[in-house]
Structure 1
């Protein structure tokens, strides 16, 4: 999961519920001081939330972009069904289309982090005309690496039969046994707990299953009529660096590797990521002739 390092809301950011015909979604909406150069929709990953993009909102606004981070259905502060069948790729992709339309800015730049990349590409397949570009951030072509599949399988098995508090305690204990573990500040620990207990277990079960079994979608990505960007840190561990690089080459995508970053460049390297994103978007704008 991504862990925000601060929960402070940037001055130009507003938290509210975005109304769509499908349901309401909790969002963080950051706007630049002048006329936006474009609008960006940020989709979080597995066990994540809109707060995963907090560090990115101000840099994007400084660069002239309206940036909107969203909790998907069943994630943290957005409601969602209590059964796994409510979280199909088509349903989640349809939600993103509804969110993009509700923002009222025409086609948006779409960024999906980790599992959010799966959701974003589902939305792009359903209706590519809703988007100006697609960025897959630390998001691979198919199922996650074996170690990650094992962790998710254990989580899937535990959630239906054990109290959520027990599962949370075990995950925290396992994290603490990692040699690279660094304790989080108390306010971040409290936030992570609130997010865990607010997220629908069915969402975690269904989306975890997709992360374990998703086939390689490289061929389909290459056929999308959208400018594509593949970005990740050189310390990425959820997907192998080789398969991410192969996906970028095979799809003709713009390819960014952020030095010193791991699975969450949006948290650890927001300035570097913003520079890569805005350079990509500037090229998209120049190529299309659009404002």
Structure 2
């Protein structure tokens, strides 16, 4: 589960509902599109809050940012029982509608984290015209690693027989700190966000988690298709990743002829682990495109 540094939008940002031809989506928006607009797409169990640390530095560099909750994610409405609305092609069409709505007439820079990267890829393969560039952030070429597939299967099995509160309680029991760690206070800072994480979890659609979890475990390799699309591409990750190991991401970047960035001291979520370095890498990539 991604852990945003905060759930509070930074100064100058605003949370609102984005109305599109595909429905309403909760977003956090910041900045003015001096250089362009950026659409930020979160990953599995994530939300728009995963990008909170990026808004200020990107806005200062002249980029308008729009981070979105996908259908059934956190504050965006979605069916809780029916998995059909969460088919990858449907989520990709949602993303195209979001891009059309946020665009000021110019193509949009697209950033997809993890699952969000694979949905972004699917959207771009449907229609690349709304986009100025694609950044795949900690998002690999095909299905997730075997270890992560096992974790996702456990979650899907649990959601089939338990409600979201029961699954949350089970997750917390498995992640409970050791007694001596609790006594030293070493984990106090990490526990401060527990209430917000629980609220996000309970607001997320179980059907969305089941459907997208299945996608992550069965995603085919579509790198050759994506490489054939003429668009600037960027593969960004931390220096460690147990969802898609770094050599797999390195190879994907070569196959895509993509710019490659590795963020030091970051793992699967460089956007929350090292937001300033991640923002700098994104700005550098987009500014080079403009030049």
What TM-score bracket applies, with the shorter chain setting the length? over 0.9
Deviation at 1:187, TM superposition (A): 4.4
Partner of 1:129 in structure 2? 129
Structure 1, unmatched stretches of 5+, are 287-291
Say if 1:184 and 1:88 are closer, same or farther in 2 by CA, change over 3 A: farther
CA distance in 2, matches of 1:237, 1:182: 22
Within 5 Å, which residues of 2 pair with 1:19-168? Answer: 19-32=19-32, 36-82=34-80, 83-105=82-104, 106-168=106-168
SS class of match (1:160)? helix
Say yes or no: does 1:190 pair with 2:192: no
Deviation at 1:100, TM superposition (A): 0.8
Give structure 1 regions of 4+ aligned residues with deviation exceeding 2 angstroms: 173-178, 180-187
Say if 1:37 and 1:173 are closer, same or farther in 2 by CA, change over 3 A: same
Within 5 Å, which residues of 2 pair with 1:189-268? Answer: 189-268=194-273
Contact 2:133–2:232 (8 Å) recurs in 1: yes
CA distance in 2, matches of 1:175, 1:139: 25
Structure 2, unmatched stretches of 5+, are none
Say yes or no: does 1:174 pair with 2:174: yes
Contact 2:6–2:49 (8 Å) recurs in 1: no
Give per-residue Cα distances to partners, 1:207-237, cap 9 Å, x unaligned: 0000111112221221122111000000222
Say if 1:250 and 1:177 are closer, same or farther in 2 by CA, change over 3 A: farther
Give per-residue Cα distances to partners, 1:229-250, cap 9 Å, x unaligned: 0000002221111111000011
Give per-residue Cα distances to partners, 1:167-211, cap 9 Å, x unaligned: 111112223369x99455454101110111100000000000001
Deviation at 1:102, TM superposition (A): 0.8
SS class of match (1:261)? coil
Give per-residue Cα distances to partners, 1:57-95, cap 9 Å, x unaligned: 111111110000000000000001231111111110111
Contact 2:107–2:131 (8 Å) recurs in 1: yes
CA distance in 2, matches of 1:197, 1:44: 17
CA distance in 2, matches of 1:173, 1:248: 38
- Give the superposed CA RMSD: 1.7
CA distance in 2, matches of 1:177, 1:208: 26
Give per-residue Cα distances to partners, 1:46-67, cap 9 Å, x unaligned: 0000000001111111111000
Per the normalisation by structure 1, the TM-score is: 0.93
CA distance in 2, matches of 1:203, 1:36: 35
Partner of 1:289 in structure 2? none
CA distance in 2, matches of 1:201, 1:167: 10
Say if 1:248 and 1:183 are closer, same or farther in 2 by CA, change over 3 A: farther
Contact 2:109–2:134 (8 Å) recurs in 1: yes
Give per-residue Cα distances to partners, 1:225-279, cap 9 Å, x unaligned: 2111000000222111111100001110000011111011101211111111111
CA distance in 2, matches of 1:135, 1:42: 10
SS class of match (1:152)? helix
